[in-house]
Structure 1
C-alpha cells in the first residue's frame, strides 16, 4: 500500500488518494454541467436568431450576368445581413430585376395580401 493510503499515526491526517479523486470527480461533473448549460443556452439563442431571420427576407444584389435574388432571412446561400420585412419582400417579387432564390424559395407562402 502506498504510504499516503496507510493509516497515519497520531495527529492530523490529509485526504487519501481515493478521497482526492472523488473530489476531483465531483468538481469535473460540476464543470461538465456548467459547459452543458452554456451549450443549451447558446443553442437556444441560435434557434431564436434562426426563427427571427426566418420571418425576414434579404435581397442579394445583382452581379454580372445574374439577376438580384430574393432570399429567406435564414438562407445560407447569401450571407448578407440587411433584412427586409414581408411587405418589402412581396414588392421585391413583383420587380422584374429580382428573382426568387431557387434553393430557399422565398416566395412560398408570400402571396400578396
Structure 2
C-alpha cells in the first residue's frame, strides 16, 4: 500500500461488512414488521369475533349457552352466528345467555 492508499481488496472487504450490517438491519426491521402485522391481524380477528356469537351445545342437565364470539369460556372455530341469528337463539327457551360474556348486551333493545 504505497502512500497509505487502501487496496481494492480492503475496500471491498469493508464494503462487504457494511452491506452485511445493512442486511441485518433490514432483516431485523422485517421481523419487527411481521410481528406487528401478526398483532394487528389478531386484534382485527378478535374485534370481528366480538361481533359474532356462538352456541355451546346443551349438556345433560345444563341448558345450551349463547356466547359472544370472543368469549373464552367456550372455544369453537365454527358455527358462528350473526346478530339476527343470535337474537333468535336468545328467544329459544332451551338456550340461555352466558353470565360471563353477556351476549345479550347491545343485542336486544329493552
Q: TM-score category by the smaller chain?
A: 0.7 to 0.9
Q: What TM-score do you get using the length of structure 2 for normalisation? A: 0.78
Aligned residues: 104
Q: What TM-score do you get using the length of structure 1 for normalisation? A: 0.76
Pick from 50, 61, 75 the counterpart of residue 46 of structure 2. Answer: 50
Aligned to 1:63, the other structure's residue is in SS state coil
Aligned to 2:65, the other structure's residue is in SS state strand
Do the aligned partners of 1:90 and 1:112 also contact (CA within 8 Å) in 2? no
Give the root-mean-square deviation of aligned CA atoms.
2.6
Distance 1:11 1:56, change over 3 A: closer
CA distance in 2, matches of 1:39, 1:103: 31
Pick from 68, 73, 77 the counterpart of residue 77 of structure 1. Answer: 73
Structure 1 residues 1-113: aligned runs within 5 Å? 12-14=8-10, 15=13, 20=17, 22-80=18-76, 81-112=78-109
- Deviation per CA, 1:66-111: give whole Å up to 9, x if none: 1100000111211112111111111111212111111111011111
